[in-house]
Amino acid sequence: MLKKIDETVGFIKKQVKNPPHVGIILGSGLGQLADEIEVSVSIPYSDIPNFPVSTVKGHQGELIFGSLNGVQVVAMQGRFHFYEGYSVEEITFPVRVLKLLDISYLFVSNASGGVNSDFEVGDIMFITDHINLMPNPLIGPNFDEYGPRFVDLSEAYDKRLLSKAKKIASHHGIQFKTGVYAAVSGPTYETPAEYKYIQSIGADAVGMSTVPEVIVARHMHLPVFAVSIISDLGVEGKIVEISHDEVVDAAATVAPKLTTIIRDMVAEV
């Protein structure tokens, strides 16, 4: 994998003049943030050596470089998922590439199902911790060049970044929740019993992404801020049949608020 990473990084660096300071992974329905970037280079995933290709609606599949609020960023407009048939090593491959492109921070977003009874569809939840119910991406040989064999996750989500997000949201009058995100493989949405179980083990929201990326970012000592848009509810009495199109639509309605938060955060880091 080291050779593949070096090849991919070398390919991208030949096309990008200004190294990015912040990396952003845009989840389902959250691609609107890309419209705020003054794009200098846009590279389809299909053109990047060794890069997976997005197969899910709402994930456009481009790596975008440019300026956001005066700061050089790189945005993944679409991510990869375990349920697409990729290994956890493959879905986290881009995080290692972004780190070697010299980003100093990683911002991650997703759409998720709320299992906290206080949540409603359209809520923004800043992630404070996670519960990993997927294979760990660090299983296998360790890459000592990137990080330690055993990674401390006592602060998987950077408290300083979280504090900035809270202040920015409050400044703009944007309501938010905080909570724990549980990662499952998908692609099925949860049964009522599974929602109940996930709530019982301490999660506030559940989704099919993010956590593997965060684990690899922390392996490489990369500070992380992550946020979920609550796109459906897994709360007893509020569970309804849900489709991916509805998840994307629900996320898109809240995307402008999240765009405001991330745009301001970029300028402060």
Tell me the pLDDT of the chain (269 aa) as tens digits. 889 999 999 999 999 999 999 999 998 656 778 889 999 999 999 999 999 876 655 446 899 999 999 999 999 998 899 999 999 999 999 999 999 999 999 999 999 999 999 999 999 999 999 999 999 999 999 999 999 999 999 999 999 999 999 999 999 999 999 999 999 999 998 999 999 999 999 999 999 999 999 999 999 999 999 999 998 898 887 776 777 777 777 777 888 899 999 999 999 99
Neighbouring CB atoms inside 10 A of 166's CB total 14
pLDDT at 157: 98
Q: How many helices (H) does the chain have, and how many strands (E)?
A: 6, 9
Q: How many CA atoms lie within 13 A of 71 on its CB side?
A: 19
DSSP β-bridge partners for residue 179: 127
Output the pLDDT for position 250. 74
CA atoms within 13 A on the CB side of 220: 26
Contacts of 209 (CB under 8 A, 6+ apart): 27, 79, 81, 110, 183
pTM of structure:
0.94
Q: What pLDDT shows up at residue 245?
A: 76
Domains (range + CATH), the chain: 2-268 (3.40.50.1580)
Asked if residues 107 and 243 have their Cβ atoms less than 8 Å apart, the reply is no
- Shortest CA distance to 92 belongs to which of 6, 208, 216, 211? 216
Q: Is the peptide bond before 148 cis (omega within 30 degrees of 0)?
A: no
